[in-house]
Structure 1
Amino acid sequence: MSRSDRSASPFAEPTPRGRARDRHGRGVRSSVTGPYLPPLRTRISLFDMTIATTVDYLRGVWPDDLGDVRFEVAPGPSAAPTGIATGAGVERWAVDASARRIVFYRLPIQRLSRLHRNDEFHQRMIIESCVFRAIAELLGKDPWDLAPERFRHS
């Protein structure tokens, strides 16, 4: 029987198409962790974990200066900065020295940073560098001066 004869049968059921398509009769695909468990690692959880571990490290190095600072993560800046027309770009973080608060913007850091290799190691490096630069801006120091022993190779 040719393929066109089989599809022309009035008793044949239509083949389901689209998102609910059943692949080889095995059912619709689901996530590896199943429907009742959250994903093990997501980009958001990796971002939050990297921010938290870097902040904890720097709080250990500068406990007096960073003890009362609040660190927050937001998806992005609430309004476009006025410097975009002059080529300043999109903010990666915001420092409010009077309120002792730093807000990191997840989407600009993750999506607008140009990585030469897009793997987990380089993603963590760009996030850590943003944390170092934001804290250095708050403290009025150079980012390399925040943890000089960390970068010293002997």
Structure 2
Amino acid sequence: MPKSRRYDVPPPVQRGRGRDRHGRGIRSSATGPYLPPLRTRIDFFDMTISTTVEYLRGLWPDELGSVSFEVAAAPSGAGPAVQRWWVSVPEQRVVFFRVPIQRLSRLHRNDEFHRRMMIESCVFRAVAELLGKDPWDIAPEGFHHF
């Protein structure tokens, strides 16, 4: 009588934390160990927001000391115009929406400098709205020509 073909099925592999789905371990960074990690658009946006907020907190420590600054992907509600930021004066809270600021801004030159200027201008306008001032009055010494 012919033998039945039995295949030995290996037992399932116990994968713990730190393993990918093929059991080969965690992937290394895309740039390797000798190059700095890649900087993404999200990292660039977050860093620009945080440095601009810290600059403004240095200029307005009493007014902005207790204000909460946050970053969200996009606004949740649909309206006639897409919000780029949301300000709540009673809550002392400002939320910046990353996708509308990055995607809906029309830049005449799409380079890092102009993207940074667009993000900084949104921060200045949102803080001006929070404080009830004109955006040009937020950092008047920042606009002196040399």
After superposition, the CA RMSD in angstroms is 2.0
In the TM superposition, what is the alpha-carbon distance from 1:40 to its structure 2 partner? 2.2
Normalising to structure 2: TM-score of the pair?
0.76
Aligned to 2:132: 140
Q: In the alignment, which residue of structure 2 is the partner of 1:78?
A: 76
Q: Does 1:97 align with 2:95?
A: no
- How far apart are 1:153 and its partner, in Å? 1.0
1: CA distance, partners of 2:29 / 2:67: 38
Equivalent residue in structure 1 for 2:56, among 44, 48, 58: 58
What residue identity is the alignment partner of 1:151? F
Structure 2 residues not aligned, in runs of 5+: 1-27
Q: Which runs of 4+ in 1 moved over 3 A?
A: none
- For 1:95 and 1:115, locate their aligned partners in 2 and report how far apart those are by CA, in whole Å: 24
Matching residue within 7, 22, 42 for 1:44: 42
Percent sequence identity over matched residues? 73
Give the alignment of 1:109-120 within 5 angstroms. Answer: 109-120=101-112
Partner Cα distance (2:37, 2:103) in 1: 21
**What residue is the counterpart of 2:145 in the other structure?**
153
Q: Give the structure 2 partner of residue 26 of structure 1.
A: none
State the TM-score, normalized to the length of structure 1.
0.72
Shift of 1:32: 4.6
Where does structure 1 lack aligned partners over 5 or more consecutive residues?
1-29
Give the drift of 1:79: 1.4
